[in-house]
Structures are given as structure tokens and as C-alpha cells.
Amino acid sequence: MGLIICIAALFPQVRQIIMNLGEQIYHKKASTYQLWLKALLSYAMGGIFFILFFDYCTLTDSGRSLVRKVKQEMKNCLSEMDFRSFIKPILLMSGVYFLGIFTIIRANYSYLDDLGRAIDGSRRWYDWSRYVSEFSSIFIHGDTRLTDISPIPQLIAVLILAISSVVLVYVIGNKKITAVRLLASIPLGLSPYFLECLSFKFDAPYMALSILASIVPFVFINRKNAFIFSSVVSLLIMCTTYQAASGIYLLVVVILCFQYWNKREKTNKEIFTFLGIAALAFGFAMLLFRFFLMKPADYYASTSIHPLSQIVSGTLRNLKDYALLINSDWGSIWKAGIVLVLFFFIMKSTFQSAQKKLYSFFVSIAMIILLFILSYGLYSLLAIPSFLSRSLSGFGVFLSIVCVYVVSDFKKIAVVTVLALNWCLFTFAFSYGNALADQARYAEFRITLLLHDLSSLYPNRNREDMKFQLKNQIEFSPVVKNIAKHNPIVERLIPKRLAENYSVESLYYLEYFNFSDYGNANTEAHVGSENYIDFSTYNLPVVLDTYYHTIQSDGKRVLIVLKH
């Protein structure tokens, strides 16, 4: 009976009747209630789909035959691999990535969400449909309530990234793993964008897992059924860990198709067949996630895509913003290195091509453009995409793929150029980690002075009617400003501890110093919202003016104006 009801709920008309009935029962049109009911129905449909698929695989002859075939194909693929040959490469890349984030670990910086998780112990990945992250954190932390166990999560992330680099080189390097190719893959884990992911004490391993999950299916590329199955499962893992990696699978597909075509390793029919299978697996996995697993979100990014009438213009606008942001983030030396690497990509594709040279030349240029577009993943389709640094981590994988391709059996000058670019990224990781520590020292110095003054002015810890509001922010330390002169992205990577536009983190950081008894007006209404009331409009009397801040108050409202 329950199954019949759930199946009936698959139809839109039935779902609408259920929601209308719920509105009548609760006597209101509650958007929260509707979202909850829609999510519940989606999970129910997902459960039905899983039950039906499970029954097909276990109760029908064709289903059991398919399961045996997939199992045998995966077993055959794994038996063909020499796993012992992976040990040294994984150790090498683990060492490289560990050195790369050593200063980040040493900084011991509680990065953004780390503050909240360390203070209240909640996970909250569920809110972003990251179910694998939600449940994996229980095993990693050994408890349902989170505590700060760093650097264990970051070390796990290092191992996962090392495996990802090795598998990537194995897949696009025709199963040939060399030290040079491994070092060429450094942007995968040490691009400035993924450095933000590695800065999170709690999130880092799951963000790294999203990259590995996007690459693993290509180990089974020579077995169709195993490849489809592993692709769908792995892509669902990617979607439920960190969706910013949504373009990595497509990047690998496209570069493999290009290699097959350029070297005539496969016929056009075989290439299009592989492309179609990969596209089918990707599309199927995304549909499963969208309709059965994804929770709607509308915070700093939206899960809604552009309307059909605006899909082209909206996507082009997002890609334009994506390109402009990367251009503004990267320093001139980095950009010169990238241009040279892309130049060698075109030269290698043309000179070593088994196709007509002119065709290869133009196709390689088109390939660079396509790879760049795909590096942003499905975010380019969103009505309100995320342009946070960590959301652009696909660009690092794009660079990694191009670098590995360039150093594979090509001229030494190209190898030197690639390694020089990666050395720049490697050294920036050290600068960034040290800058985190320096900014933390500077911010804590400013906050200590502020809290000392506030505690002197308002020693009563039970003033529930008093509201605080921050104006301006603690600026970057001189060290950060120095790095930003040539690498502007550092100012997007390092959070500002106290800032009016970062009210949630500001609240957590004050609570970190056990200053949480007073109300924080910034958290009641964000700057720019309709409910936000600017305390500076009250012309409050100045009660304290120092070199670093000014405090104004009328006894109930306290305006803290931070000076630069």
C-alpha cells in the first residue's frame, strides 16, 4: 500500500494535491513547509527508484546477468593493473602535497565554517546535499558531534589528492607514470583555488574526494558496462561531496577523445561511441542527483538554472565573469607561464598529430577553449553561480591536464616551462600559509584590543537589551598586502575576521573569545537587506576613540567603527 502511494506521488498532479491538502491542514501557505514536503517526496521517489532497480538486479534474469557482467568487467580491469607500481608515485605526490600545505597546517587557522563547527560541533553538509560528507565525517571524527582534530582531515585530503594525481596521469598518460608527469599534475591540488579547500580543517577531505571520484571511472574505460556503472556511482559521490568538481569528469572525457582523434588511436565511430556513453552516464547521474538527492539552496549561490529563454545568454555571461575573475586573480608571471604552456599544447598537438597539421592546429585551439569552459562545470548554467575561490577549483584540474599532456614525450623546453609554472604555484602555497598565520596574529591583536575596551565600558554580562553593530572591517596585514601586489588572489583567499559583511563569522569569532552574551545586530539583518538598520544614522555619542577603533553608544545600541 505504501509503495502504491509513493508511486502515485511521482505524478505532479498528485504532488500538488498533497501540498494543497497540507496547506489546508496548517491553514497557511508556508514556503518552508512546501520545500520540506517537496524534499520528502523527492527522497520517496529516489527510494522507489532504488527499490525498483534493486528488484530488477536481483529478481530478473536479465538484471542478474547485468550485475554479473559488470562485476566481472570491473574485476578484469582491476586484475590488469599493477597496484604495486602505484605505491611510489602516491608516496611522491603525498610528500609534494604535504610540503605544499605545510605552512597552512602550521598556521592552524580556523577557516570560515571551521569556527562554527569547532564551537557548536554541527556538521551541516546536509543542507548543501553533501550526504557523503555528512556521513563520512562521523567516521573520520569518531563521533556524531564534530571536534577539531586537525591536521588529520587535511592529511587525509593530501593522500586523496596524491591518489587523484596518480590516477589522472595513469589515465591520460596511456598508463605510463613518470616523475615528470606527476610533478606536472601539481595544479590539481595546489592551484590557488584548491588551496582554499585545503584551508578548511573539516571540509578538506571531502572536497578532495570529489576530484578523485571524478577521475576513478576512467580506470574502467575499456569495459563499457563497468565504465557506465562506475561513472554513475562516482559522479553521485562527487555531487554529494562537493559540486564544484562537476566539470572534472567532462574534462577527462574531452582530453581523451582529443588524444584518440589526434593520434588516430581510434576511429571516429569509436570516439563518438565513447563520448556518447560518457555523456549518457554523466547526464543520468546528474538527473538522479537533481530529482532525487538535491536540496534547493539560495544563499550565496543558487541551485536554479537559467530559464530556457536565457540559457545561452546567461551561460555566456557566467563564463565571461569566470574568465575575467581568473584574469584578475592571477599575477602576470603566472599568466605568462600559462600562455606558454598553452602554446606548447598547441605545438605538440600539431607536430605530433596523425591528422592533417592544419586541422590539428585549429582543433587544439578549440580544445583549449572547450576545456576552459568545462572547467567551471555545471556552475556556468546556474542563475546565481558561486564565484568563491574554492568554487573555481576546476581550473586547477584544467591546468593539470594540459601540463601532463605537454610534458608527455615532448621537448625539454616544454617540460621546463611546465615545471617552472608549477614551482610558482608550489611556492605560492608557502606564501599563502604564512600569510594566513600573519593575518590571524594581526586580527587577534585588533580583536583583543576591542574586547578589552568593550569589557571595560560594559562589564555587565547580562545586558540582553544591548545590541552591537560592526562598521567597516579589519583590513589585511602588511604581509598580505605585499603578496597581493603580484598575486591578487591572496586577498580573496584570506578571510577578514571581523567585517560587517561577514556577520556570521564575526559572531563566531567573538564567541571564540567567549564574548557571546550581547546581541549582534549584524546577524539579525545582513548589510543591504530590507530589515537592516544602520546604527550610524542614529548619530550615537562617542564613548571611546582609539587609534584602531571608535565606539559609539546610547546605552542600548553600540556601534563599533573599525579603523583601517
d(CA 227, CA 221): 5
Q: Give CA separation, 38 vs 4, 23, 302, in Å.
A: 18, 13, 17
Inside any domain, residue 282 = yes
181 with 250, same domain? Answer: yes
The pLDDT value recorded for residue 291 is 83
d(CA 268, CA 257): 9
DSSP character for 290?
Answer: I
- Summarised one tens digit per residue, pLDDT across range 456-488 is 888 876 666 778 888 888 889 999 999 999 999
CB 561 within 8 A of CB 550: yes
Strands 557-562 and 549-553, how do they pair?
Answer: antiparallel
Q: Give CA separation, 557 vs 71, 520, 523, in Å.
A: 67, 10, 14
- Of 388, 526, 552, 391, whose CA–CA distance to 458 is shortest? 552
13 with 131, same domain? Answer: no
CB 232 within 8 A of CB 285: yes
The mean pLDDT value for 238-265 works out to: 95
The pLDDT value recorded for residue 3 is 40
Residue 214 has pLDDT above 90, yes or no: yes
Residue 9 has pLDDT above 90, yes or no: no
Length of the chain as a residue count: 564
| Strands across the sheet containing 542-545 | 519-520, 467-471, 557-562, 549-553, 542-545
Per-state percent for the chain, helix, strand, coil, to nearest 5: 70, 5, 25
CA contacts within 13 A on the Cβ side of 374: 19
d(CA 33, CA 383): 24
Beta pairing partners, 552: 542, 559
The pLDDT value recorded for residue 298 is 67
The pLDDT value recorded for residue 8 is 42
- Summarised one tens digit per residue, pLDDT across range 509-542 is 777 787 765 555 555 555 555 566 788 888 899 9
Beta pairing partners, 499: 473
d(CA 314, CA 555): 49
d(CA 50, CA 58): 12
The pLDDT value recorded for residue 29 is 45
The mean pLDDT value for 352-376 works out to: 95
What is the four-CA torsion angle of 22, 28, 33, 34, rounded to 10 degrees? 70
Radius of gyration of the chain (CA): 26
The pLDDT value recorded for residue 230 is 95
d(CA 211, CA 162): 11
Inside any domain, residue 175 = yes
219 with 180, same domain? Answer: yes
CB atoms within 10 A of CB 267: 11
CA contacts within 13 A on the Cβ side of 308: 0
Q: Which domain holds residue 274?
A: 81-410
The mean pLDDT value for 448-455 works out to: 90
DSSP character for 145?
Answer: S
CB 61 within 8 A of CB 46: no
Inside any domain, residue 48 = yes
392 with 524, same domain? Answer: no
CB 206 within 8 A of CB 130: yes
330 with 443, same domain? Answer: no
Inside any domain, residue 417 = no
d(CA 479, CA 485): 10
Confidence tier at 28 by pLDDT (50, 70, 90): very low
The pLDDT value recorded for residue 515 is 77
509 with 404, same domain? Answer: no
Inside any domain, residue 222 = yes
Least confident of 51-60, 228-237, 315-324: 51-60
Residue type present at position 465: D
108: left (phi over 0), alpha (psi -120 to 50) or beta: left
The pLDDT value recorded for residue 445 is 93
479 with 342, same domain? Answer: no
Confidence tier at 118 by pLDDT (50, 70, 90): confident
439 with 300, same domain? Answer: no
Helices (H), 27-151: 31-59, 61-79, 87-100, 102-107, 113-120, 131-141
Residue type present at position 50: F
Confidence tier at 502 by pLDDT (50, 70, 90): low
- Summarised one tens digit per residue, pLDDT across range 42-93 is 666 666 767 777 766 777 877 787 788 888 888 888 888 888 999 999 999 9
100 with 41, same domain? Answer: no
CB 487 within 8 A of CB 331: yes
Residue 334 has pLDDT above 70, yes or no: yes
The mean pLDDT value for 176-196 works out to: 96
The pLDDT value recorded for residue 23 is 47
Residues with Cβ < 8 Å from 334, sequence gap 6 or more? 421, 424, 425, 487
H or E stretch at 562? strand 557-562
C-alpha cell at 484: 597581493
Inside any domain, residue 213 = yes
The pLDDT value recorded for residue 532 is 67
360 with 450, same domain? Answer: no
More confident call, 21 vs 175: 175
H or E stretch at 549? strand 549-553
Least confident of 74-78, 97-101, 188-192, 366-370: 74-78
The mean pLDDT value for 533-560 works out to: 89
- Summarised one tens digit per residue, pLDDT across range 402-418 is 999 999 988 899 999 99
Average pLDDT, the chain: 86
Residue type present at position 522: N
C-alpha cell at 323: 574568465
The pLDDT value recorded for residue 513 is 81
The mean pLDDT value for 549-555 works out to: 91
More confident call, 188 vs 119: 188
Please state, for a pLDDT cut of 70, what percent of the chain lies above it.
85
Structurally, the chain folds into a number of domains equal to 3
Inside any domain, residue 426 = no
Residue 94 has pLDDT above 80, yes or no: yes
| Dihedral (CA of 449, 553, 509, 433) sign | negative
- Of 510, 513, 439, whose CA–CA distance to 469 is shortest? 510
Residue 6 has pLDDT above 50, yes or no: no
7 with 133, same domain? Answer: no
d(CA 454, CA 540): 16
CA contacts within 13 A on the Cβ side of 51: 11
What is the four-CA torsion angle of 462, 467, 469, 474, rounded to 10 degrees? 0
CB 197 within 8 A of CB 203: yes
Residue recorded with cell 546577524: 523
Confidence tier at 40 by pLDDT (50, 70, 90): low
Residues with Cβ < 8 Å from 392, sequence gap 6 or more? 193, 244, 322, 325, 326, 376
Residue 244 has pLDDT above 80, yes or no: yes
Inside any domain, residue 69 = no
Confidence tier at 15 by pLDDT (50, 70, 90): very low
CA contacts within 13 A on the Cβ side of 52: 10
148 with 272, same domain? Answer: yes
DSSP character for 101?
Answer: T
The pLDDT value recorded for residue 136 is 93
C-alpha cell at 441: 596574529
